[in-house]
Structure 1
């Protein structure tokens, strides 16, 4: 039973990721589809490992070693997940500690940390309560209107708590790096996150100003890990910069009402745990 459960979890995780990743549809449809494909496999593997640990190495097996083999695999997987999470937390804590050594300023009513570099840069850095970091180069280079545009964009990241949620997604990214399409789905989620912030900002600022600011920020450096940083220039490689700009300049798509049943299929993640009471 243990090896069957292990094989079931691995097969479902691998098989689901082999599905072709589509990039058509509205932003909301793409977001739900990509997030589902990104989350389901690693969460299923985690729940399978937890179920195997709860069952223990004992049980009716064809061979005596099968229970111990699956048990140690599950323990090893959960231990690796714990180590990865701890390392990611330490990396994020160090970055946040570094950010808090920067001088604090108030720019257009927003508390910010000033980075002494001539290169334009702005980002939310942190976890649940993120810090706004911007560079002297951004203040010197951008006009007042363009500065308002990028500040509003970063307010969207703070509103959606993107740094917090993408910290956990970044952990699952590391945990499932060996599965197909992990990096492609991660980049898709980063792009859609930025498009969501663009759309939020476009409700109060001129979309043309946002597009112009985006072009100016293309060469901004990656100063912090993407798992705790939501930067205006994120997810803007040349092959996707055009998509963000086109989305900004095109007519805004209407928001579809959220349907809680869309994620009901995620309950299947808990399926391995339901087999624990039947273990003997």
Structure 2
């Protein structure tokens, strides 16, 4: 296979894999989790390893065939775009974290949690940071919720810190931007965010009354309906951590189930690793290039 053929194969595989995605919420939570990760990660990773293999082999060689220089240039362009998007995404997130600390009114203790308070009317809470994230809440949230419901929201946010969701979603957010041109990228992104919120809800429900947590979600949505965040940092944070209104009914129903999805989340199965292993196939072409 020529270099051009390998490039076309990578593009065709990535596009067709995503094009056939059909969201199915009939399966178990664990099945939905595995399905969403595989379909989200595999196409961009396959495309990146294809570009890496072409860049490694260079524009010349017995395997190059027609389009050697063209394929080589395209591969370098893909890798440069991936690196540029990664640096920009990290830079934006770092600036947003610094902006949050500068604009915080104070660092306070809320129900046993250390949090930074922002001067915003919209009810808002999120984890900010990468590895050791910090809790950020808005003045509007403190005004609208009583202590019991506020504690439920804060424990939900502590679940995100427990699972290092800010680190994982920072990496996945980069792949989202890189594969924005592929079909169903936004659909899978929203599914991953919903499943992440369901996991955090279940973790919190083991520590507070699930009904209280559900009431807190409803109150935040009710108070925040129709309000748009005017702060640029909050807009960025909401992209990483959408407001509780997203698929609220599904989250409430999950909280009311006697046995919801396991709070720890499913570990990757052998089948999942096998599917993701397909992303490494383009690298197998390197030993055959001379």
**TM-score (normalised: structure 1):** 0.92
**How far has the Cα of 1:229 moved from its partner?**
4.2
| Separation (CA, whole Å) in 2 of partners of 1:188 and 1:62 | 41
Q: 1:36 aligned to 31, 35, 38, which one?
A: 38
Task: Classify the secondary structure of the residue corresponding to 2:59.
Answer: coil
Matches within 5 A, 1:154-165: 154-165=157-168
| Separation (CA, whole Å) in 1 of partners of 2:130 and 2:15 | 30
Aligned counterpart, 1:48: 50
Q: 2:282 aligned to 256, 259, 272, which one?
A: 272
| Separation (CA, whole Å) in 2 of partners of 1:12 and 1:226 | 33
**How far has the Cα of 1:120 moved from its partner?**
1.7
CA spacing shift, 1:151–1:62, aligned 2, 3 Å: closer
- Across the aligned residues of Structure 1 and Structure 2, the Cα RMSD in angstroms comes to 1.9
Q: 1:243 aligned to 246, 250, 257, which one?
A: 250
Contact 1:163 1:230 in 2 (8 A): no
Question: Unpaired segments of 5 or more residues in structure 1?
Answer: none
1:114 aligns with 2:124: no
1:67 aligns with 2:107: no
| Separation (CA, whole Å) in 2 of partners of 1:176 and 1:62 | 28
1:225 aligns with 2:236: yes
Aligned counterpart, 1:202: 205
**How far has the Cα of 1:221 moved from its partner?**
5.0
Contact 2:126 2:136 in 1 (8 A): yes
Aligned counterpart, 1:252: 259
| Separation (CA, whole Å) in 2 of partners of 1:97 and 1:79 | 27
**TM-score (normalised: structure 2):** 0.89
1:23 aligns with 2:25: yes
Q: After TM superposition, where is structure 1 displaced by more than 4 Å over at least 4 residues in a row?
A: 226-229
Aligned counterpart, 1:84: 85
1:181 aligns with 2:218: no
**How far has the Cα of 1:118 moved from its partner?**
3.0
**How far has the Cα of 1:125 moved from its partner?**
1.5
| Separation (CA, whole Å) in 1 of partners of 2:210 and 2:137 | 21
Aligned counterpart, 1:10: 11
1:153 aligns with 2:156: yes
**Paired residues, number:** 274
| Separation (CA, whole Å) in 2 of partners of 1:227 and 1:71 | 38
